[in-house]
C-alpha cells in the first residue's frame, strides 16, 4: 500500500516537472513566434514598398517611352520638312518631248 502511495506521489512529481518543462518550452515557442511575426511583418512592408517602387518605375518608363516616341516623330517631321525644302531648291529638268 505504501509502495503504491509512494509510486503515485512520485508520478505526480514527475508529471509536475514535465508540466513545468512544457510551460517553459511553450513560452519559448511563443517568443519565437512573436519574433517570426515581427520578421514577417517587416518583410511584408518591404515587399509592399518594392511593389510601389515597381509601379512607380513602370509608370516612369511608360512616360519616357511616350516622350521619346513624340520626340522621334518630331525629328522625322523635321527631316521630311528639310528634304522638301531641299527638293524645292533643285532645278527642274526639262520634260522630254515625243518618244
User: How do residues 25-73 score in pLDDT, each as one tens digit?
Assistant: 999 999 999 999 999 999 999 999 999 999 999 999 999 999 999 999 9
Query: What is the per-residue pLDDT for 92?
Result: 81
Q: How many domains would you assign to the chain?
A: 1
Determine, yes or no, domain membership for 71: yes
CA 81 to chain CA mean position, Å: 46
- Residue 31 CA to residue 73 CA, distance in Å, equals 63
Determine, yes or no, domain membership for 74: yes
Q: Report yes or no on whether pTM surpasses 0.75.
A: no
Whether 1 has a pLDDT exceeding 90, the answer reads no
Determine, yes or no, domain membership for 93: no
Give the structural domain span for 76: 21-84
Q: Is the dihedral of CA 16, 20, 26, 30 positive or negative?
A: positive
Query: What is the per-residue pLDDT for 96?
Result: 75
Alpha helices in the chain (DSSP H): 2-89
Amino acid at each position: 500500500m505504501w509502495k503504491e502511495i509512494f509510486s503515485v506521489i512520485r508520478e505526480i512529481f514527475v508529471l509536475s516537472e514535465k508540466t513545468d518543462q512544457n510551460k517553459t518550452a511553450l513560452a519559448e515557442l511563443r517568443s519565437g513566434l512573436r519574433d517570426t511575426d515581427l520578421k514577417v511583418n517587416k518583410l511584408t512592408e518591404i515587399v509592399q514598398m518594392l511593389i510601389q517602387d515597381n509601379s512607380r518605375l513602370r509608370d516612369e518608363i511608360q512616360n519616357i517611352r511616350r516622350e521619346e516616341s513624340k520626340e522621334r516623330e518630331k525629328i522625322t517631321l523635321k527631316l521630311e520638312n528639310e528634304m522638301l525644302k531641299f527638293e524645292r531648291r533643285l532645278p527642274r529638268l526639262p520634260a522630254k518631248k515625243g518618244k
